[in-house]
């Protein structure tokens, strides 16, 4: 028993290496030729690009949900102040003069709350949760590929992250992600 444990510890490489027959995710996914190894590396590149695409999709869905929430129409209830009356009595608003093409108008400037959190909505939060679950799964698969310590797999993940950021990074204004 002890000798088999010693053998498994000795066969576990803790430094980067350049072998082309490293299993990925299972023993049945072990490249046996240079072409299969290249195909595995290309798969990892596309998987890393997919992770960046998922984060971009999440950011765009969040932006769309916020835009939709800001455009939402509200009903004035009898006996309550209208939005115009609330704006006039709001201490954080101020008056000013707006000049456009020589025409001057008196306006009231109202600042929207910056840290307003939208209420929970099934149509917004379920897709967000699903996307983040898929992103976590893809991220963990990429992490496992890097943890093989195979240089080709590692560089493929980095190349995919680079290409994914190159392709989708401009759409992620202030988005947080991997």
Averaged pLDDT in 10-residue chunks for the chain of 178 residues: 52 81 96 97 98 95 84 63 66 62 63 66 92 98 96 98 96 60
Domain assignment of residue 10, yes or no: no
Domain assignment of residue 52, yes or no: yes
Domain assignment of residue 54, yes or no: yes
Domain assignment of residue 143, yes or no: yes
Cα angle 65, 69, 73 (rounded to 5 degrees) comes to 145
Domain assignment of residue 142, yes or no: yes
Domain assignment of residue 74, yes or no: no
pLDDT of 178 reads 44
Domain assignment of residue 55, yes or no: yes
Domain that holds residue 46: 34-69+126-177
178 CB-near residues (< 8 Å, 6+ apart): 51, 52, 55, 139, 161
pLDDT of 39 reads 98
Domain assignment of residue 99, yes or no: no
Instruction: Determine the Cα–Cα distance for residues 78 and 119; give it in Å rounded to an integer.
Output: 24
**What is the number of domains present in the chain?**
1
pLDDT of 66 reads 83
pLDDT of 108 reads 60
Whether pTM > 0.75 for this model: the answer is: no
């Amino acid at each position: 028993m002890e000798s088999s444990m010693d053998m498994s510890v000795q066969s576990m490489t803790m430094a980067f290496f350049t072998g082309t027959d490293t299993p990925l995710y299972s023993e049945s996914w072990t490249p046996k030729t240079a072409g299969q190894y290249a195909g595995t590396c290309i798969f990892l590149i596309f998987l890393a690009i997919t992770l960046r695409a998922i984060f971009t999709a999440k950011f765009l869905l969040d932006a769309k949900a916020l835009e939709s929430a800001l455009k939402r129409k509200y009903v004035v209830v009898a006996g309550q102040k209208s939005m115009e009356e609330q704006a006039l009595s709001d201490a954080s608003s101020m008056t000013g003069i707006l000049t456009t093409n020589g025409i001057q108008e008196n306006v009231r400037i109202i600042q929207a709350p910056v840290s307003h959190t939208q209420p929970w909505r099934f149509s917004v939060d379920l897709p967000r949760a699903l996307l983040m679950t898929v992103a976590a799964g893809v991220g963990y698969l990429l992490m496992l590929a890097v943890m093989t310590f195979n240089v080709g797999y590692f560089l493929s993940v980095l190349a995919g992250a680079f290409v994914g950021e190159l392709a989708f990074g401009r759409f992620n204004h202030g988005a947080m992600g991997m």
